[in-house]
Amino acid sequence: MSDDIPPAETPPPLPATPSLAAAAEAMPTRRRALMLGAVGATAIVSIRPALAQTTASVLTCEIPVPDPSRAGSYIAADGSLVPAGTAGAFPPARVPFKGEDVRRAMAGGRLPGMDSDRTRAYLQYIRRLQSGTSGFTCFASLQMPRG
């Protein structure tokens, strides 16, 4: 059995270039562009203070040498912790170092009130800090590049 229904005609192919009306619909309106610009400006205004605050907190964070759980230990020249009184080792720092002080020392300066050998030993200790150790987050944030 065959039906006498003619096959459906396929619509003509769309033109390769969009019509003027379609192009106008695809382009954002001036109002929409202004709204998007306002949203972007708001994001920049709110991100910049956050970055400034982060930078300030990195410079004022503290790194105790050694961390409080090992306060009685001395620091060997290679940065490892050794028992108190070990020859050639340095006693713990009396106060934690500020992030800014550590950053300067890592760039070739000295830690405040320390000679070069003691600074070198303390910096070796700081470089060995691991997650969960007091001062690690501060040291890690010093390593992050700033934009």
Q: What is the pLDDT of residues 42-78, one digit of tens each?
A: 555 444 444 444 555 667 899 999 988 888 899 999 9
pLDDT greater than 90 at residue 12:
no
The DSSP secondary structure of 11-54, one letter per residue, reads PPPPPSS--HHHHHHHSPPHHHHHHHHHHHHHHHHHHHHHHHHH
pLDDT greater than 90 at residue 18:
no
pLDDT at 52: 45
Question: Can you tell me the distance from the alpha carbon of 19 to that of 71, in angstroms, rounded to the nearest whole number?
Answer: 77
Sequence-separated (6 or more) residues with CB below 8 Å from residue 84: 72, 73, 74, 91
State the amino acid at position 143 in one-letter form. Answer: Q
- Specify the pTM: 0.60
pLDDT greater than 80 at residue 93:
yes
| Pair type for strands 97-98 and 62-63 | antiparallel
Q: Give the residue-averaged pLDDT of 8-33.
A: 59
Report which of residues 3 and 104 the model is more confident about. 104
Q: Give the residue-averaged pLDDT of 140-146.
A: 76
Question: Can you tell me the distance from the alpha carbon of 78 to that of 66, in angstroms, rounded to the nearest whole number?
Answer: 14
pLDDT greater than 60 at residue 39:
no
Report which of residues 91 and 14 the model is more confident about. 91
